Amino acid sequence: MSKEEDRTYKNIQDWEEKIIKIFPVAIPNECAWFDEIDILNVLFTLCSDKVANIFYPEGKKLGLYGVDFSSEDKCIELITDNTIDIVRPQKLSFHYYDEAFEWSYFRLETDNLKQICNIKNKLHKEALICLDDGEYIDILEGIKKYGDKDELDNLMIDDARLVNRYLKKSSFLIFARNSYFKDFYNKSFNTYSDEELSSMIENLMLNGNV
């Protein structure tokens, strides 16, 4: 077994352990959570030990390292290797393929958020500075307010964070980091229904992509 194969095997094994921790009695083919605290607890289990990747509606892929409550009502924070992303969860669903843990996944569906900055935005998200008191400042407005970028950088170090707020109803997919899915993902999957996505993954498996 090569080093790469060994890493993949270990990652899928760790992913399996996470799923068994969530479902200690029996693993269902499908399951869904709607309560914000339940969703947060499941995600918390998944994100430890650098086991999971999260696939974003705009097409990017990042390691999921943590989750937390947001200061915004009914919102949570997704913490990755280089972002803090604020979303309003509607539903978290689990989809299991018998013994094929490398293809088993979670789907986080999110609701719309009201845009804060005044700039017209066609993207899924807006990038903001979040102060300790929960106030948001648009990055460009922050530069104007604090005079220059150096002063703004000092503020960021002291008591503020850069965050992304996801504005549009979207879905995020969570797989094992070394899942084969990473080779096939594209942002069009964001528009798929649960049934369409599940059918597509079953076809990938049947075509020998394992």
In the predicted model, is pLDDT for residue 155 greater than 60?
Answer: no
The CA distances from residue 192 to 77, 129, 157, 197, in Å, are 24, 32, 40, 6
pLDDT band for position 122 (cuts 50, 70, 90): low
Convert the pLDDT of each residue in 4-21 to its tens digit: 888 999 999 999 999 999
Predicted local confidence at residue 55, as pLDDT: 95
- Give the start-to-end residue ranges of the domains of the chain: 1-111+170-196, 113-168
Sequence-ordered list of residues with C-beta below 8 angstroms from that of 19, at least 6 positions apart, any chain = 27, 94, 96, 101, 104
Sequence-ordered list of residues with C-beta below 8 angstroms from that of 137, at least 6 positions apart, any chain = 128, 129, 131, 145
Convert the pLDDT of each residue in 171-184 to its tens digit: 999 999 999 998 88
pLDDT band for position 84 (cuts 50, 70, 90): very high
Instruction: Read off the tokens for 185.
Output: 């993902």
Convert the pLDDT of each residue in 32-78 to its tens digit: 999 999 999 999 999 988 899 999 998 899 999 999 999 899 999 99
Distance CA 143, CA 49 (A): 37
Contact 122, 111 (CB under 8 A): no
Name the average pLDDT for the chain.
Answer: 87
The CA distances from residue 191 to 35, 57, 85, 188, 199, in Å, are 23, 9, 20, 6, 14
**pTM for the structure as a whole:** 0.88
Q: How many other β-carbons are positioned within 10 Å of the β-carbon of residue 132? A: 10
